[in-house]
Amino acid sequence: MRTFVDEIAAHAALTPGRVALTTPDGELTYGELAARIEALAEVLRARGARPETVCVVAVGRGADAVVATAAVVRSGAAFLVLDVEQPPARLAALVRSGGADLLLTTSALAGQLERLPVPGRPVLLDRPPGPEPVAGEPVDAEPVAGEPAGPPAESAEVDGRSLAYVSHTSGSTGEPSAVLVEHRSVDNYLRCVARDYALGPDTVALQIAPPGYDASVRDTFAPLLAGGRLVLVPRSALLRPAEFGAAVRAHGVNTLLSVTPSFLSFLAGQSHAAGLLSGLRLVVSSGESLRPFLAAGGRALLGSAALVNQYGPTECTMTSTRYAVPADPDITADLVGTPIDGVVVRLLDAALAPVPDGETGEVYLGGAGVARGYRGLAARTAERFVPDPLGPPGARLYRTGDLARSGPDGLEYLGRGDRQVKIRGYRVDPAEVEGALLAHPGVTGAVVTAGTDDQGRVFLLAHVTGDLADTPDPALRAHLATTLPPHLMPRRFVRLDRLPTTRSGKADRRALAGTGGGS
């Protein structure tokens, strides 16, 4: 099959001088990018990279990470990207669960990564080629900036069922679970993104998702597959509103493919929010409920830019459905829309029978995006990846644990069964309270969690940020009382300078659960 890296090589052959990457160190054209990819792929092949080989990519944000990941695909192997800023124990767990065979890194990082459980010497991206090192010295590697002897060749034929990458989700025991995604799934998905969102040579996308998260695959390679330009800036610049806005303006960024609702709400809470987002044509959100952002009036900040709400788990190649949010959105429902090409969505009851339209069911996903399963976890794989009772022989579904119902605009997401809570017999979706809080002019961020008092009664805790020094709790309650019934009223308000987030940019609800939980 033809991979997304083959498309990069095709762009290089047709328009080698077109800029592919803009980085703090300068620009890289498609011709230069393809040359570096091919040069490194040759080194990987020589080191034994082949189908089902898992190559760990452990470098900082920048061109090296793009080159290394693409070179792994070009060699026929599979990539496992690490966020090198995570704790060493966490990195070791990811490598161990992912079954890594080869490590790609740099001289500067090799020392801190030397204890990773990866066999053999690492391939160093910044070392020139040469003879085998003497004992105790790191291995030499092909420079990523090298030119191949001739034009980039078509990569070896890739079987669509061979492994493309390894990603991770949280495991029930605390150990990360390695999800195995095949080439047919990721290539189908990236092509859907490029086609559905009309990406092309005029696309200028800002890379936002951190390395090591599957969203970064979309962030990085959908624009390049389409022949667009990818802008890479330091992670610190993305976390400071002024620097974020400056990067968007300076580089003419018009596309954001991987933003979380928490990040959008953070930007929306700034006094100059509209200026931060000006010039954008497309904003794609995923990872959390978008409803609180919409309920707070955030859609208006994007002006004429298209806003797309995506839904899908790691186990189904990032995204399964998408919904184009209109200029005047319905803020009473969390709409995630219709399936992307090749994806099957089923709403089933406990007996795996379809539920009628408008009724709540559990989301089961099938079709092109379904992963192989979890590496080394046969029982968990069998529990979550089940036969499709309505599909052809051999068809599988992934059981998401999410609740939804279908309507005229597609799928309405109702949250996870384990996030919805009951307050005095009422079923409560915390997103509804979060949206109402964000509508207050002084609130810039809000996450609602559930607590339990010493009598076992469940109550709501509202964690809020913003300029609220002159806004006492009764004033917040009065604001909420204008739109919410009493059972949706938080018992307590916990004021924070900033809401904690995970490395992927989502609100860290686990961290918040330990704050202000008293009765």
CA distance linking residue 376 with residue 97, whole number of Å = 8
Q: Do 82 and 29 meet the contact criterion of CB atoms below 8 Å apart?
A: no
Instruction: Look at residue 239 in the predicted model and tell me its pLDDT.
Output: 85
Instruction: Look at residue 429 in the predicted model and tell me its pLDDT.
Output: 79
| Closest by Cα among 249, 308, 321, 235 to 280 | 249
Domains along the chain with CATH numbers: 4-9+27-158 (3.40.50.980), 421-512 (3.30.300.30)
* Cα-based distances in Å from 259 to 26, 143, 152, 246, 314: 25, 33, 34, 17, 16
Cβ contacts of residue 51 below 8 Å, gap of 6+?
A: 76, 77, 158, 159, 162, 163
CA distance linking residue 89 with residue 84, whole number of Å = 11
Q: Do 29 and 20 meet the contact criterion of CB atoms below 8 Å apart?
A: yes
Q: Do 372 and 186 meet the contact criterion of CB atoms below 8 Å apart?
A: no
Instruction: Look at residue 486 in the predicted model and tell me its pLDDT.
Output: 84
Residue with token string 């319905």: 330
Instruction: Look at residue 274 in the predicted model and tell me its pLDDT.
Output: 83
Instruction: Look at residue 248 in the predicted model and tell me its pLDDT.
Output: 95
pLDDT tens for the chain, 519 residues: list them. 999 999 999 999 999 999 999 999 999 999 999 999 999 999 999 999 999 999 999 999 999 999 999 999 999 999 999 999 888 888 998 999 999 999 999 999 999 999 999 999 999 998 755 444 444 444 444 444 444 433 444 456 789 999 999 999 865 444 678 999 999 999 999 999 999 999 999 999 999 998 888 999 999 999 999 999 999 999 989 989 999 999 999 999 999 999 988 889 888 888 888 888 889 999 999 988 898 889 888 999 999 999 999 999 999 999 999 999 999 999 889 999 999 999 999 999 999 999 999 999 999 999 999 999 999 999 999 999 999 999 999 999 999 988 999 999 999 998 766 566 768 757 677 888 998 899 999 999 999 999 888 766 789 999 999 999 999 999 999 999 988 878 889 999 999 999 998 877 888 988 897 665 544
pTM of the predicted structure, to 2 decimals: 0.83
Instruction: Look at residue 483 in the predicted model and tell me its pLDDT.
Output: 81
Helices (H), 142-199: 183-196
Half-sphere exposure of 232 (CA within 13 A, CB side): 25
CA distance linking residue 230 with residue 367, whole number of Å = 30
* Cα-based distances in Å from 63 to 14, 28, 220, 236: 21, 8, 10, 17
Give the three-class secondary structure for 99.
coil
* Structure tokens belonging to residue 168: 């991770």
Cα angle vertex 50, ends 48, 54, to 5°? 90
Residue with token string 């969690």: 449
Long-range Cβ contact pairs of 87-93 (< 8 A, separation 24 or more): 88/112, 88/115, 90/176, 91/58, 91/116, 92/116, 92/117, 93/175, 93/176
| Closest by Cα among 434, 483, 447 to 294 | 434
Q: What are the b/e assignments for 475-511, b being 16+ CB within 10 Å?
A: ebeebbeeebeeebbbeebeeeeebebbbbbbbbbee
Tell me the chain's radius of gyration from C-alpha atoms. Answer: 24
Half-sphere exposure of 115 (CA within 13 A, CB side): 8
